[in-house]
Amino acid sequence: MRARLSLFCIAVLSPLWAHALEDISLPAGFSIEEYAEVPNARSLALGENGTVFVSNRKGRSVYAVVPGDKGTRTIKLTKGMNAPNGIAVHNGDLYVAEIERVTRYADIENRLEDVPEAEELAIELPSKRHHGWRYIGFGPDEKLYISIGAPCNVCDEPGFAEIIRMNADGSERETYASGIRNSVGFTWHPDTQELWFTDNGRDMLGDNLPACELNHAPQQGMHFGFPYCHAGDLLDPKFGEGKRCADYTAPAQKLGPHVAPLGVRFYTGDMFPEQYRGQIFIAEHGSWNRTEKIGYRITLVRLENGAPVSYEPFAEGWLQGESVSGRPVDLLVLDDGSMLVSDDLSGKLYRITYDGPVGADGS
């Protein structure tokens, strides 16, 4: 009896993600493999020498994944940080965003085994933890962009629900866009250099409302509706009184309700077939309070003449019925054209490649 019980416990307690990759479906010609193990792998950034930097929000750390001829090597760079989530590499320096501060590590790829002292930027950030984990990135304008999520499910508080930008040293801070509940992923179009970002819709309006959002902010000063209007057409029951959705910018593409879109990337490589190049990939982290789970996948938004024309699954299978084996967080296109996916549930990075026929449509 004891032996049977032990075997049962091993089967029950074995990680659900042990066979996760066997369940992942991709278009024909694509494949997915494990690239590296990083606990609670969150945001991704690429160094000039090919090092992949990975934040570990719950573990309060940042890691470096170094490629080599015999695979990758993972190095723990920092520890004891305050919910480090956003990371970026700029001019060889690593920037890490905690809840209340952003720090800079100079010449990081030459200092992986001897990490330099952190230099704190002169930026005042809110200390509230609700949606307090930051996402950061450097735009084509050389400015540092930082998301500041709303400190609530839905509320109207000055200084929150916006994306700010500043110089690399933290000076000349300004609000770039507002009315954004909680963006944990943004990127810039490779040709127009315009900002695109994901936004997580509010909760407690039911399973199917509101839609999450993919937004487009080609210029500074746009307001995307939160907390007054959600997804471009749904006035908030409390904060929408006396407001009009027409006064705010609607999403470029509505996404699934509660799918929790996080990382977003334009595909800029040349490994994938032509029809994927310049298109938008989104990591959907997945719902947490919906009656039936949704998300837990990578989706593809196709553009024509700069506007979305479709929204479809690209990689799915981390959700099997109501069982979850992985939660995609961020995406990164490597120099060889393959794409990395971080998964904070399994603590892994996955690599998606294409090896189908040249000129195939990959569908």
Q: Is 147 within the bounds of a domain? A: yes
Domain boundaries, position 164: 16-354
Q: Is 126 within the bounds of a domain? A: yes
CATH number, domain of 190, equals 2.120.10.30
pLDDT tens for 345-362 read 999 999 999 998 876 454
Question: Which pLDDT belongs to residue 359?
Answer: 60
Question: Which pLDDT belongs to residue 357?
Answer: 84
pLDDT tens for 125-144 read 999 999 999 999 999 999 99
Does residue 18 surpass a pLDDT of 80?
no
Banded model confidence at residue 19, pLDDT cuts 50, 70, 90:
low
Banded model confidence at residue 363, pLDDT cuts 50, 70, 90:
very low
Mean pLDDT of 189-195: 98
Q: Is 5 within the bounds of a domain? A: no
pLDDT tens for 247-298 read 999 999 999 999 999 999 999 999 999 999 999 999 999 999 999 999 999 9
- What is the count of structural domains for the chain? 1
Nearest to 177, CA basis, from 153, 154, 199: 199
- Average pLDDT over all residues of the chain: 93
Mean pLDDT of 224-234: 98
Q: Is 8 within the bounds of a domain? A: no
Q: Is 280 within the bounds of a domain? A: yes
Question: Which pLDDT belongs to residue 20?
Answer: 72
Q: Is 306 within the bounds of a domain? A: yes
Mean pLDDT of 98-105: 98
- Percent of the chain at pLDDT > 70 equals 93
Banded model confidence at residue 150, pLDDT cuts 50, 70, 90:
very high
pLDDT tens for 57-74 read 999 999 999 999 989 999
- Look-up: residue for tokens 């990395």? 340
Mean pLDDT of 333-347: 98
Q: Is 1 within the bounds of a domain? A: no
Question: Which pLDDT belongs to residue 63?
Answer: 98
Q: 58 - beta bridge partners?
A: none
pTM: predicted TM-score of the whole model, two decimal places: 0.94
Banded model confidence at residue 158, pLDDT cuts 50, 70, 90:
very high
Question: Which pLDDT belongs to residue 314?
Answer: 98
Q: Is 37 within the bounds of a domain? A: yes
